[in-house]
Amino acid sequence: MPLTILSQAQLRSLLLSLTRDEIVSLQTNLAHALREYSTGNQENGCAATYQPQRTAITRRNGCTTLFMPATTGQTLGMKMVSLQDGGAAGCAVESKGSLTEGEKTVSRTRSGHSHRDSVSSLSSDMSDLSVSSQENGSSAGGSTGGTGGSSTSSSQSLPSGCVNQQPVNTGISNTMGAWPGAGARDTSPQGSLTLLGEDSMPFGLINAHELTPFRTALTAMMVFSKRKRVRTVVVFGAGKQAYWHIRLALTLRGSDIKRVFIVNRSFDRAAELLRDIYSPDNSSWRGDVKFSAVSTDFVEYTRIIHDALHKADAIFCCTPSIEPLFPAELLTSKEARKKGRLISAIGSYKPHMTELHPDILRDEVDVHHSHRHFHKHVKRSGVIVVDSLEAALKEAGEIIQAEIKPKQVVELGELLMVRHAAQDMPEDDDDSKSLSDWVQRGNVIFKSVGMGLMDLITGGDLVQLARERQIGTTVEEF
């Protein structure tokens, strides 16, 4: 089997050449994998119960590397990314264990239920789809296979490990020690993705620096593409994540978007992103959209951000912030609740980090509060949408700091499953209408921490496209 190697420059060249139809195809394949991930059924190769465990190792030089294996049942992948976090030498393996009394039971969409049952469950009470819980406040950990297509999760501490026969002498966090501690300077992770076929021979080797932000934005666009109104978009951050969120949003919905605000601490970096967007090469997807760069150093920043968020139909948070990016009341006030928004937070990946104020998440899940009865207020769903239940409960600072319970979280794959099932329902079905209306017009908060499965699926598709376009280096007989 030939081996295709894509360097950082080669992968970027390929990604920049993708047509809208090709992006939609990549997104469709990824959505199918996320649906399988959330089934809890080990017969599906992408299911969470079938995914290998992660491992992290911190070397003596203070560099931590995260090993993220994934499988589709046919192909295998291993993403390895490293960054300098100054940690003490040690290693850890993500552990999975059996349930004990009082722990959470994750009830993903059950294979024994009809499509109507699934749609009705999510539409009538969003929180019922994801998790039933004892009120003990413990977190979910790794998942194990269950009966009837359901899966279970439990909170497990990481076992101790060693590097070069040296024992771990500091605690390693639930994020597998993969990221810097509080106060450490964040850097972009460097690494690669190796892809193996059914014969266990490698067929792809991809630089991961550009792949990670691309597949994250591709996932976030799954809900964005279904929104009825996306006239005004606010993006926090000016790095690669921000770039790909803007580019994919305009590629998929450019004719509907009229205004994009780019908000960043450094105005110079935001201006640099704008110069890139306004380059002649980007005219095909940039269209006639009006862009504005906003810095927190602006004298009128408070007024500008209030106005931008008030008008926003979609908000993308793409920063490694350890403090909320804006006050909660800008989205939780009586006036703010009159409008439904898509709020996607993908920048924070450690428990101490948070882009969204915890009160924003608490407000979303507090569906029974008396203030819900104000006239013209958009109905809250009662859940936060995440990519992975287990990972979000361990890593997402917003989820952890807001003390969101597992029953108040629903995986994107679960939502995709129910929406897929709703396609077979009559058009006048009330449950199907309720779900569709929430996805298209309601208030939706999506929190992503990333999964190796995303890299495996999207990376495999990109290798195929690279071969068709003769991009990259090919070793015919590896």
What pLDDT, in 10s, does the model give residues 243-300?
Answer: 999 999 999 999 999 999 999 998 999 999 999 999 998 988 998 999 999 998 898 9
Q: Are 71 and 194 in contact (CB under 8 A)?
A: no
Predicted pLDDT of residue 41: 76
238 or 104: which carries more pLDDT confidence?
Answer: 238
Residue 184 pLDDT greater than 60, yes or no: no
Which residue intervals of 185-292 are DSSP H helices? 208-224, 240-253, 267-277, 283-286
Predicted pLDDT of residue 89: 76
Q: Which of 290-299, 325-334, 380-389, 454-463 has the lowest mean pLDDT?
A: 380-389
Q: How confident is the model at residue 353 (pLDDT cuts 50, 70, 90)?
A: confident
Task: Report the pLDDT averaged over residues 445-463.
Answer: 95
Dihedral over Cα of 4, 7, 10, 14: its sign: positive
- Sequential DSSP letters for 397-466: HHHHHTT--GGGEEEHHHHHHHHHHHTTS-TT-HHHHHHHHHHHHS-EEEE----HHHHHHHHHHHHHHH
Task: Report the pLDDT averaged over residues 433-442.
Answer: 86
Q: Which of 47-51, 72-76, 128-132, 147-151 has the lowest mean pLDDT?
A: 147-151
Query: Domains of the chain (ranges plus CATH)?
Result: 3-86+208-466 (3.40.50.720)
Q: How confident is the model at residue 429 (pLDDT cuts 50, 70, 90)?
A: low
Predicted pLDDT of residue 368: 60
Q: What residues does 390 pair with on adjacent strands? A: none
Position 458, amino acid: T
**Helix/strand/coil for 195:** strand
Task: Report the pLDDT averaged over residues 381-400.
Answer: 90
Predicted pLDDT of residue 432: 67
Predicted pLDDT of residue 421: 62
Query: Residues near 253 by Cβ (< 8 Å), separated by ≥ 6?
Result: 224, 225, 230
Predicted pLDDT of residue 430: 62
Residue 414 pLDDT greater than 70, yes or no: yes
